[in-house]
Structure 1
């Protein structure tokens, strides 16, 4: 069954309202799905990869909100620099009246989660990090030299750049292939500016100052089968966060939060359980 016609996805679209939030000017529109009890002041916020949209984490919103967690999945507006994105995200948290949050980021989303934790480390807005198939240094990508010119490329070229990392569906399990099909549909929905800006954030010269993040509770989720993140990149993540909890999935491809959603949700729940007894801003409903 195709993911976007599954009963779970249809239930998500029927029960979780899509909200548009305008910040700064009419061009900065954040799209969010906010599931679970709104009384929870420290939700889990899900940050998608380059090809993702706000519904990418629908399985996490549905599965975890049913257990009493508040989960927000979002899609970013167009930002051309990491600092600009971090400032925009800070303003979004201010608008939502959220002082601190847990961040679950996939690929580019994981990199942005780390950079936001770094950006706000003197006055922390991040309680913890869950990083899925992510990285700490953009130099691992081959488009670094061309990053300043990505804004000029047509949408078709940009989409081919992204889809080149998806792999061949002929060699995939059906659930992994379905997750790729779902993300291809999301990719097709992005405008040229949205895609160019995300690729610029993904490929422009930048790295995480991991020494500033060692105090955070971190869980690293990765897969043992083929995905766009190569083994040396994964090993760099392990070295960067020597005290992180490791959640290794036997398979799942680039998008395990879709293809192996039950396993990913379990790891997220284990991660968040550490904060269950926090007072004055707990992860669970009081």
Structure 2
């Protein structure tokens, strides 16, 4: 029984009642399943795909799904199967895109999800499958966690210990504002729903020594979303991101914590629309053009008045 305010909210209950969950198996002779929510117009052939952090499930992006599909965007939120290496992840996800008949996608990746987005774009750079990337509180080098040696033991650690490790990066809800505290409570529930192998495999990929090769992504359209308040991502990690993507757009939120797509969803959704706007008149449009003409992406500004957030969006 859900106890967090977000899980009990009418918005979340409406999402669960209106958007179907799908499970897809793409690896032959394997019981590994991708879990996904695919919402919005199916005529869109280059949708926005959301990758969660290590602690996340596919439903954590329900506010992006509800907010953006209402404006004509197609949004697919993913939950990873048990995969123990970056190569296995990239190959399995490539097969999933083939199964969904998607040649190109835009990716919104949070924390580990952002790192996986970059690695998949790098993996397919000779035959591109990723048109653009939005990175939220993410990183380019796993060595920042200083856990590369211990990552080889995660597969044998009990689930409660792995969850305790992850929750060590969550700020105490008592010290946070109402919306951020609610986002932490909801993510704790999502974390509790993960099995030992699911969490161990994600943490293994998250902490095994690896880094992004930015030269392979030099032509990628990138937006970096980060927060000015406390999060698990240090300023030095953010600076390394800026160094790797000097031409990226930077979307700074004054606050939002580790999970701004939950706690500051209106602002994050606005930045996603700004990022995708450049593709509106191309074959890589993530939005049904008939709906976008009627609603217009500029209308998203009404949900988050930039005059109240002077640092809401800044170019490089």
With the shorter chain as reference, the TM-score category is: over 0.9
Q: Say if 2:62 is the partner of 1:21.
A: no
Give the 3-state SS of the residue equivalent to 1:42 in structure 2. Answer: coil
Following superposition, the deviation at residue 169 of structure 1 comes to 1.3
SS at match of 1:201: helix
TM-superposed CA distance for 1:142, in Å, is: 2.8
Give me the whole-angstrom Cα distance separating, in 1, the residues matched to 2:161 and 2:287: 44
- Of residues 38, 52, 61, the one that matches 1:57 is 61
CA deviation string 1:104-159 (max 9, x = no partner): 00000000000000000000000000000000000000321101111010001100
Partner of 2:213: 209
Distance 1:221 1:284 in 2: 21
Separation in 2 of the partners of 1:54 and 1:26?
21
Q: How many Å separate the matches in 2 of 1:199 and 1:142?
A: 12
Q: Which residue of 2 aligns with 1:240?
A: 244
Matches of 2:61 and 2:108, distance apart in 1: 10
Q: Are 2:134 and 1:146 equivalent residues in the alignment?
A: no
SS in 1 for 2:268: helix
Q: Which of the numbers 163, 166, 169 marks the counterpart of 1:165? A: 169
Alpha-carbon RMSD: 0.9
Q: Aligned partners of 1:249, 1:235: CA distance in 2, in Å?
A: 16
Q: In 2, Cα distance between the equivalents of 1:246 and 1:175?
A: 23
Listed as ranges, the matches of 1:1-286 within 5 Å are 2-24=5-27, 25-279=29-283, 281-286=284-289
Task: Note the residue ranges of structure 2 that are not aligned, 5 or more in a row.
Answer: 290-316
1:22 CA displacement: 1.1
Q: Which runs of 5+ in 1 are unaligned?
A: none
Q: Return the alpha-carbon distance in structure 2 between the equivalents of residues 118 and 262 of structure 1.
A: 30
Q: How many residues align?
A: 285
SS at match of 1:46: strand
Partner Cα distance (1:28, 1:96) in 2:
16
In the alignment, the residues of structure 2 paired with residue 217 and residue 72 of structure 1 have an alpha-carbon distance, to the nearest angstrom, of: 19
TM-score (norm 2): 0.89
List 4+ stretches of structure 1 deviating above 6 A.
none
TM, length-normalised to structure 1: 0.98
Larger radius of gyration, structure 1 or 2? 2
Structure 2 Cα separation of the partners of residues 175 and 113 of structure 1:
27
Cα distance in 1 for residues equivalent to 2:173 and 2:69: 31
Q: CA deviation at 1:26?
A: 4.1
